[in-house]
Every structure is written in C-alpha cells, then in structure tokens.
C-alpha cells in the first residue's frame, strides 16, 4: 500500500494491486438477518455464508492470493516423497528466516501440537507475551502452565503505546528466579499478538528477550502467524529500523529465535503451516512426530498446491506494499470509528479492528456476554460477521463458574486484499448507527452450552425482545434500504 499524498489532504489507503477475480456477495434484508442469527443460536460461527455480506470473522485461510501464487499452484509436483515442490518452500524459509531446517504441518495448531509434545512436560512453565487459544490448549494438554508476562500497557484497551505486544523482561527474570531455568520449557513470543487486538512487539524487545534467554539457557519459540503485520509495524513505528528492509528485519528475527512456527493460513496467504529451526537437534526431536501426526516430511498434511502458494506468499510478504494493506485499512477503520466516538482498541493493530464491547454496551454485564451480544447486533445492523473475543471464548472453571475475560472484544478481521474501501466504509457506517442506538442492545444467555469450546458450538438467545426492537429502529431509519 502506497503512502501517496492526496491533493485534498485526505488520508486514504491506496491499493497497490488490481482485482481480477471476484466473488458475488449477498446482502439479505434486515428481517432475514434477524432470522439467520436466531437460527444460528446467536453464534456467528454458526451462520451460513449465504446470509453474510461482509465476513470479518477471521483472516485465516481467506486472504486473497496473488496471480503468482495461483500460477505456482499449477506447477506443483505431487508425489508422496521427494516432491520437487517441497524444496521450494525450504528455500523460501531459508531466504526469509535464514533457517535451514523446516518441518511441514497441516496448520498452525498442528505445529503447536508437535512443539508442545516435544518440549512441554508436566509441571513445566511456559512464559509468553500472551496466549492464543490453540497454543495454550496444547501446552495445558501436555501438563504445562502458561504464564502471561506481557507489559502492563498491553492490557490497556485504549492506548497510544506503539508496541503493546512486548514481553516484560523484568517479569521473565522474576519467573526464572522463582522457578529456576530448568522448569521453563521454552519462552514463547507471539508476533502481532492476536487476542489483545493484533498488537505488535518491537524488534528491540525481541533482542532483550533473547538476552535473558541466553543468560539462563532458555529456548525461544516464536509464533510467526501474524508476522506480516508485525513486520510492517516494526518498519514504520520503530525508528531504529526505518532503514532496514523488511527482509532484513525478518532475518534478524530468525537469528534471534531458536524455533519459529506459523499458520500459513495467515502468514503466506495460503493454507498450511510449519516449524523452522536452525538447530539439527530440535529438528531431529520433532521429525518423527511430524510423520506420525501430519504426513511424510515433504508434505506434512498439506496439498502440494498449497506448498507452492506458501513459498511464493512468503517471498511476497517481504514487500512493504503487500504487508501494509491490512494495517492501513485497519487504521482507516479505527480512525473513522474513533472520530465518531466509538470505543475501539487503540492504537490500530494488525489482524482487524476490535470494538470494545465493555464500553460500547456498559449496561450489559459480563454475565450477559456484551461482546457476543454486540456481534449479533452488528450482524442484524449490516450483515457484517465478526468474532466474539470475550467471556464466551473462555471456559467455565472446574466448579462451573464463569471465567470472565480481561477484555470483551468484537473482532472484525480484515482479510488481506479482500474488501474494498467502500465496503469498509459501509461497515463503519453500520457500526456508528449501532453505537447511536446502543441503548436498544441487550444481553444473551446460553440455551445450549458445551463444556469445551463453547464459542464454536454453543447456542444462545437474546434476553427479552431487544433484537426485534433493533430491527424496527433499523427500518425506521433506513426505510427500504438493505
């Protein structure tokens, strides 16, 4: 995305790509939107695509691919072992991270399974800037304990701090002192920290974390799923890195870490994943598990077409025009919402725009799931599908008590190169309308609540008839318009 000056002075992100393949969208009437969200048990995961206008659920596996990626997919070499395709991905990993060994996996969580099985044992501690749902689940499954040691500013929803994803190295030192280095399985850094709003860490922070790891002999594992956004933020927000190329930044990250894993549903704009390291010892430890759980070492559960696409996608990620598209669209959306007084996570991060449901709906208590309620209200208001990232995404404790999350967010993900700016403006318009009518929005309660992963499968109902009132207000304000 280019930073081109507009004569008018307006700050508009300018797409540095053209769109050659399109997919038709539907915008169904508001009555149908109410019906659809009711049929889905007020859970946006259970909506059908045909009822959705803008799908902002996730950026996972739904980013637009380039002409070069699609062309590469036609050239793939499909063989169980020794495929000609696989070395192309190994070479791309070497160019991007400077890491010699690469183990393929069918997606990010599969890499987490392998790493956790090899390095985590019961009673070990895994310090990290912040958890991601699947990363934590695999660590816990293997008996490990997650310790979140993000800087305090990281949990401040509304802030201007540029690197809210930084790990607090003083807290890391304190953990080592308390438990001893032997008890620490590895230190995990998640780049573009997902659950706190796609917030980046700085390169300087990673260097400092490495220093502590060196001092105590700790392994540093880096979740690079959201690396594209974080690279952009390092380049633009970290003064000392302004003159580094994107590839130089990525190579330094590679030099600082022992193991890098990623979801290629995000990084590389395809579908798949993998684990990289330059240490043969780690590679050998993980190798058998890859063949056991994923597939032979030259495909690891991925189609060779996707492997070709990842190899090209990783190289394309080294282009500032490519990686700036998400962050600049998100910044545009966040700034428009802030200008209209709508509470959102600031500063703008990567991944998506995150509405702060706690401040958006102050009258809806956490026991009635404000972020989940806001997700249904926005779907009714505009056919926009977001993802609840609040207490519904948590799990009850052993005694059946609710565990309330630190933040109640509605994540509106920005799949890269998928939406146009007018679609983003439409989403902003409907959010602003909803904010003006926020007093109409009430809470939700469970009607079907699975014990595990309730956010995927659970069904809820609106408390009272607030959703019908919202539809009536919509018709009054918008008339015949969809």
Task: Enumerate the active-site residues.
Answer: 80, 132-133, 223, 266, 389, 455
What is the pairing mode between strands 145-148 and 459-462?
A: unpaired
Q: Which of 225, 298, 317, 324 binds ligand F0G (CB under 6 A)?
A: 225
Q: Which is nearer to ligand F0G, 135 or 277 (CB)?
A: 135
Structure tokens at 22: 């399109």
Using the rule CB under 6 A, give the single segment among 74-82, 128-136, 307-315, 424-432 that binds ligand F0G. 128-136
Q: Which of 15, 35, 45, 60 binds ligand F0G (CB under 6 A)?
A: 60
Using the rule CB under 6 A, give the single segment among 77-85, 121-129, 222-230, 373-381 that binds ligand F0G. 222-230
Q: Which of 448, 439, 438, 441 is nearest to 467 (CA)?
A: 441
Name residues whose C-beta falls within 8 Å of residue 180's C-beta, 6 or more positions apart in sequence: none
Q: How far apart are CA 404 and CA 358, in angstroms?
A: 12
Would you count residue 199 as binding ligand F0G (CB under 6 A)? Answer: no
Q: Which is nearer to ligand F0G, 313 or 443 (CB)?
A: 313
Q: Give SS3 for 55.
A: strand
Phi, psi torsion values for 112, nearest 5 degrees: -65, -40
Structure tokens at 45: 């995961």
- DSSP conformation letters of 295-323: -STTTTT--HHHHHHHHHHHHHTT-HHHH
How are the residues of the chain apportioned to helix, strand and coil, as percentages rounded to the nearest 5? Answer: 45, 15, 40
Would you count residue 132 as binding ligand F0G (CB under 6 A)? Answer: yes
Would you count residue 56 as binding ligand F0G (CB under 6 A)? Answer: no
What's the closest the beta carbon of residue 243 comes to ligand F0G, in angstroms?
A: 28
Q: Which is nearer to ligand F0G, 272 or 442 (CB)?
A: 272
What's the closest the beta carbon of residue 184 comes to ligand F0G, in angstroms?
A: 20
Helices (H), 40-132: 67-73, 86-97, 108-119
Q: How far apart are CA 232 and CA 239, in angstroms?
A: 12
Q: How far apart are CA 283 and CA 281, in angstroms?
A: 5
Q: Which of 263, 376, 405, 467 binds ligand F0G (CB under 6 A)?
A: 263
Q: Which is nearer to ligand F0G, 27 or 289 (CB)?
A: 289
What's the closest the beta carbon of residue 390 comes to ligand F0G, in angstroms?
A: 15
Q: Which of 108, 165, 274, 343 binds ligand F0G (CB under 6 A)?
A: 108
Chain residues binding ligand F0G by CB under 6 A are 58, 60, 107-109, 132, 134-135, 190, 194, 223, 225-226, 263, 265, 273
């Amino acid at each position: 995305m280019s930073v081109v000056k507009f004569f008018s002075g307006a700050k508009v992100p300018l797409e540095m790509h053209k769109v050659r393949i399109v997919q038709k969208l539907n915008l169904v009437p508001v009555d149908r939107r109410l019906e659809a969200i009711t049929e889905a048990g007020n859970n946006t995961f259970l909506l059908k695509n045909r009822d959705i206008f803008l799908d902002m659920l996730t950026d996972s596996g739904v980013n637009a691919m380039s002409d070069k990626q699609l062309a590469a997919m036609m050239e793939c070499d499909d063989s169980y072992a020794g495929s000609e395709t696989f070395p192309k991905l190994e070479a791309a990993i070497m160019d991007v991270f400077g890491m010699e060994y690469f183990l393929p996996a069918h997606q990010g969580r599969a890499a987490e399974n392998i790493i956790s099985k090899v390095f985590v044992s019961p009673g070990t501690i895994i310090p990290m800037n912040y958890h991601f749902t699947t990363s934590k689940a695999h660590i816990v499954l293997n008996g490990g304990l997650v310790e979140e040691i993000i800087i305090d500013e990281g949990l401040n929803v509304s802030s201007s701090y540029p690197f809210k994803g930084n790990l607090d190295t003083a807290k890391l030192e304190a953990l080592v002192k308390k438990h001893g280095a032997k008890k620490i399985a590895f230190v995990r850094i998640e780049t573009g920290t997902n659950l706190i709003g796609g917030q980046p860490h700085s390169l300087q922070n990673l260097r400092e974390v490495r220093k502590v790891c060196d001092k105590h002999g700790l392994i540093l594992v880096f979740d690079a799923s959201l690396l594209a956004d974080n690279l952009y933020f390092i380049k633009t927000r970290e003064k000392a890195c302004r003159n580094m190329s994107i590839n130089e930044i990525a190579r330094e990250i590679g030099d600082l870490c022992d193991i890098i894993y990623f979801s290629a549903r995000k990084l590389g704009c395809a579908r798949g994943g993998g684990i990289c390291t330059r240490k043969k010892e780690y590679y050998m430890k993980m190798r058998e598990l890859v063949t056991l759980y994923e597939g032979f070492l030259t495909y690891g559960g991925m189609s060779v077409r996707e492997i070709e696409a990842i190899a090209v996608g990783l190289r394309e990620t080294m282009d500032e025009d490519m990686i700036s598209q998400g962050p600049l669209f998100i910044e545009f959306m966040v700034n428009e919402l802030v200008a209209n007084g709508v509470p959102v996570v600031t500063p703008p991060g990567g991944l998506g725009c995150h509405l702060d449901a706690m401040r958006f709906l102050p009258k809806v208590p956490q026991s009635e799931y404000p972020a989940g309620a806001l997700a249904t209200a926005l779907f009714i208001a505009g056919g926009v599908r977001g993802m609840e990232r609040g207490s519904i995404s948590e799990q009850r404790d052993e005694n059946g008590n609710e565990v309330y999350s630190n933040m109640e967010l509605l994540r509106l993900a920005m799949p890269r190169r998928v939406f146009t700016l007018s679609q983003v403006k439409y989403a902003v318009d409907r959010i602003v309308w909803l904010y003006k009518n926020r007093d109409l929005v009430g809470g939700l309660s469970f009607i079907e609540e699975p014990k595990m992963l309730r956010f995927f499968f659970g069904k809820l109902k609106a408390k009272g008839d607030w959703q019908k009132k919202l539809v009536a207000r919509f018709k009054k304000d918008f008339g015949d318009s969809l």
